[in-house]
Structure 1
Amino acid sequence: MRRALAAVTALSVSSAPIGCLMVLRRMSLAGDAMAHAVLPGAAIGFIAAGLSLPAMSVGGFIAAMAVALLAGFVSHATPQRDDASFAAFYLIALALGVLLVSLHGSPVDLMHMLFGSVLAVDDAALVQIALVSSGTLCALALMYRPLVLHSLDPGHLRSVGGPGAAAHVLLLVLVVANLVSSFLALGTLLAIGLMMLPAASARFWVEGLPAMAAAAAAIGAVSGAAGLLVSFHAELPSGPCIVLICGAVYMVSLLFGRRNGLLAGHLPKSLYRARAGS
């Protein structure tokens, strides 16, 4: 449980700010596609080296980056839009990964790769998650301005000679690296949960990217701790509990969020003033 809490907290701190950039760029589906694309690479690493953390991580990273680059190439070389190309490639990757694991592993291996097991995170996985989280935060600090400008106005960044291509590639690398780390704990089907749900929730409460990133990281960390507690006391799978808590926070934010929440215009303004004062 201590390792699981440390892993979920580290993943939240690094994944949630990346998710904020993805939300601003309307690339949520792309993130979901890359999360599913981790599976065939991890399956190949599993076939080659068994349950080897380095082999599965490297395979998953290569596969997810390949899907991202192929989808981007198709959307630029053909009239097909990004969402259609990402959807096509992630479905192919997911089916291929399930097939490979089914042919060379057991049903337990398949369930572990699809849904993860955060309570089974060992010291090696925890070190990898910590390294990816630390590297992500350092990269965001060094490339913050290009990443933000490329997310909000890529045309302006290109017009002033900024590193638009480098910012785009860096964002893809950071997304894939965090998804591979999340895959170790939550599996390919749920890895995107800690990245996108807290970011989407935070947008209903705060203004400005720094505040949004901080709020998303806090939502992810608190939801992770709450999900672990619920799973422990109710004897339920930890990964789905964590993502469901994140989903519950999103639904509350969608309804009552002070920025464009569905019910925000119908609640007394004094209630929001009291919340802001507290």
Structure 2
Amino acid sequence: MGKTIAVANQKGGVGKTTTAINLAACLAEKGMKVLTIDIDPQGNTTSGLGINKASLENTVYELMIGESNVEKCIHDSIVPNLVVIPSDVNLAGAEIELIGIEDKEYILKKHINPIKDFFDYIIIDCPPSLNTLTINAMTTADSVLVPIQCEYYALEGLTQLIHTINLVKKRLNASLEIEGVVFTMYDARTNLSLQVVENVRSNLEQNIYNSIIPRNVRLAEAPSHGLPISIYDPKSAGADAYRDLADEVIKQDMGNVEEEVSVQTNKETQKKKGKNLFGRRKGE
């Protein structure tokens, strides 16, 4: 079954959408089958993957309000192995339209769970706020990946987000975990970026990726061309950084699978031992 990762931060301008686009594209580049869900009404992930929002009929909005099904809402992107459930400005009205709907926090999960087996990864780009859409993303997700900008208030905003994730885990999605934290817009020319990285690493217990996304002109230009950085400028520092991040995500998941297999093997071994000790018939 594919892994669903919500890319989230309650603060805007931290590289959230850039990370959703380019992590998904780099995972696809490595041969993974990837679905990206744009659940931000701004629709920047949609346009950043080469999809014209003006021509769309079936988006995540129609999916959320029950006017379409998930198969109709999946669109091809410019990237091989990567498909998209797109968004447009209509999604901004979903918050009001879903008022009074029973179990509205689980609408997206209801549609996505049946198709998880078709993908290796499902990447959800969340809005920069805690609302019904973000909560739907977190109830659907297995984990949350948190991009944080290398700036003075980074740790404060991160602490608030972790609190939110823990609330969702406690009340709505008991299996939700923090996938990891990735630093974005790192400027090696400034002491501030270095200080932020050191401060967060010293004070945070969660997984922090070694990959650091630099402040990069080509990375900033790519969305205006409707391309991920791996296609727009595959040799840029930004492309290298997101490929490294994709490698870390895959490696981390492989380690988790190996750990689960090891635990299951140990359980089966203990079960067999127990049968040998206690399951004998008389005369054996």
Q: Does TM, normalized by the shorter one, top 0.5?
A: no
* Structure exhibiting the larger radius of gyration computed from Cα positions: 2
Q: Normalising by structure 1, what TM-score?
A: 0.29
TM-score normalised by L of structure 2: 0.28
Q: Relative contact order, CA 8 A, sep 6+: which one is greater?
A: 1
| Greater fraction strand | 2
Greater helix proportion: 1
